[in-house]
Amino acid sequence: MTSGKEMAIDLSQPTMVTSDKTAREIFEEVRANPARARFGFGEKLAIINVDPQKSYTRPDLFPKTSYITDPRQMEHINEISMAARAKGLPVVWTHVAYMENAADAGVWGTRTDTPDSLQNIKYDSERHAFDDRVTIDRSVDAVYTKRMPSAFFETPLQSFLTWHKVDTLVITGGSTSGCVRATAVDSLSHGYRTIVPIECVADKHESYHFANLTDLLIKYADVVPVSEVHDAIAGYKA
């Protein structure tokens, strides 16, 4: 029996929404909603470039693990990193690698053991190396090797951001559904305004990419054109 405005719902039936739309179409529909509230940019941002390393960015070298979504991704990453650096804003780069015997790879890294598996990205190997197209200023940029999806996990990132009084993270790199997502969720969990510039992230498959951009946009981050990041950086005083 129901009362007032309560409705009788059959709890034995699924209520999950289904759709014939593609993941890209759903993302564009959600993105176009003018009522969606934003986190926005705060007082000070940092650029977090997640794993732009050859294992993931060079399909000519590593076709099973690499991906290109926007052919200008590395250019966009360089441009916002350079702009932030010029304003004295922190720039961080991460890449993943493991010991020769994979003793530090854990459950995640050792799930599979093929030449293309995570555990076979060895320290100082070509797969560990950053893409030649990215421009890193090692005199001022922070560079961390990580072993798990999130850039926060067992790295100095949190203390680095605290020292620099950062309240906003701009997250780039790949994959959208993997390490970018993990870092974005952790970013919000640590209390940061979280920004994901669309042109600066990539994934292996369109469905993974846009489904995760949709989820990030709805719950965890502002997913915006990279031009908005440029505008925000331009507004900071050096």
Active site residues per annotation: 179
Buried b / exposed e over 127-138, threshold 16 CB at 10 Å, is bbebbeebebee
Question: How buried is residue 184: exposed, middle or buried, by Cβ count under 10 Å (0-12/13-18/19+)?
Answer: buried
- Provide the H-helix boundaries in 51-126: 54-57, 73-86, 106-109
Q: Where are the beta strands (DSSP E) in the chain?
A: 45-50, 91-96, 142-146, 168-174, 193-197, 201-202, 222-224
Listed residue (218, 169, 219, 226) closest to 202, CA to CA:
226
Q: Mention every residue, 6+ apart, whose C-beta is less than 8 A from residue 44.
A: 89, 164, 165, 166, 167, 168, 236
